């Protein structure tokens, strides 16, 4: 998982794109680890883009919390926004695990690579 890299080696990459992340894995360990690190000295000086599809939780089933966990991640990053350079976390409407990759990669690359004042012009 790309988010694990952010937590374990925050300076390894300065741009991270996660599409339909498996945050549910290992009983939501990623969220628990992030909560603990945010209380400490954790800082991510790069850009983070996370996308999931609105239909993913309904299709995959409640135990996987594909949407709920992404919303929890969004709340954590918002509550600790000073620990992140720039973050976008979105639940894309009418998308499933199978349809999200194309749109998420395009939007994610636009966010991660384009200067903020030119994002609407670059893609």
Nearest to 119 by CA among 80, 73, 75, 88: 88
Alpha-carbon gap, residue 97 to 109, rounded angstroms:
19
pLDDT value of position 120: 61
Phi-psi region of 26 (alpha: psi -120 to 50; beta: other; left: phi over 0): left
Nearest to 18 by CA among 114, 92, 123, 120: 92
Domains of the chain: 2-122 (3.40.50.1820)
DSSP state of 12: S
- How does pLDDT run along the chain (123 residues), one tens digit per residue? 678 888 888 889 999 999 999 999 988 999 999 999 999 999 999 999 999 999 999 999 989 999 999 999 999 999 999 999 999 999 999 999 999 999 999 999 999 998 876 656 654
Would the pTM of this model clear 0.85, i.e. be above it? yes
């Amino acid at each position: 998982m790309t988010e694990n890299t952010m937590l374990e080696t925050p300076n390894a990459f300065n741009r991270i794109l996660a599409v339909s992340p498996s945050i549910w894995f290992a009983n939501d360990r990623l969220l628990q680890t992030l909560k603990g690190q945010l209380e400490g000295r954790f800082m991510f000086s790069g850009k983070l883009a996370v996308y999931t599809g609105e239909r993913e939780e309904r299709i995959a089933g409640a135990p996987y919390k594909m949407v709920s966990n992404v919303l929890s991640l969004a709340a954590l990053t918002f509550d600790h926004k000073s620990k992140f350079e720039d973050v976008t976390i979105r639940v894309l409407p009418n998308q499933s695990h199978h349809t999200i990759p194309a749109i998420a990669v395009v939007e994610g690359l636009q966010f991660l690579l384009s200067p903020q004042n030119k994002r609407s012009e670059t893609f």
